Amino acid sequence: MIFGYKSSKKNAVNVFLLQGELIDRDQSATLMQEIETATSKDETKIVLNLAELKYLNSSGLNVLINILTKARKAGGDVAICNVNKKITELLVITKLNSVFNVCDSEEKAISILNK
């Protein structure tokens, strides 16, 4: 399964619904361009909705870390929501669950970023 995403904007927050499998940095080139464009416009609150993301490896984790770095350097933050069990375990093992805002729902992620 290939990687894809859908983007939307809700309550001044950029929401990205990640889909498929994120296993190669090159797969995320258009996503990263969109993140870069958003942060350059001072749109620095980002939600990564992982509801449709089936698999993530170390390259995929690197993409998530790059998104977080771009947002925080621009004065914003990132929240991750709807994480499946396998990806949750990966975040716990790598201790990234303490670096990212991890939420159960998109609504909660948006409210955390808008505090």
pLDDT means over runs of 10, the chain (115 residues): 93 96 93 96 97 95 97 97 96 96 97 94
Neighbour count for residue 11 (Cβ, 10 Å):
12
Please give the pLDDT value at position 26.
92
Domain 4-105 falls under CATH 1.10.10.60: no
DSSP states along 13-74? EEEEEEEEEE--GGGGHHHHHHHHHHHHTT--EEEEEEEEEEEE-HHHHHHHHHHHHHHHHT
The predicted-structure confidence for 12-22, as pLDDT tens digits, reads as follows: 999 999 999 99
Domain boundaries, the chain: 4-105
**Sheet containing 77-81: which strands, arranged edge to edge?**
4-10, 13-22, 45-56, 77-81, 101-103
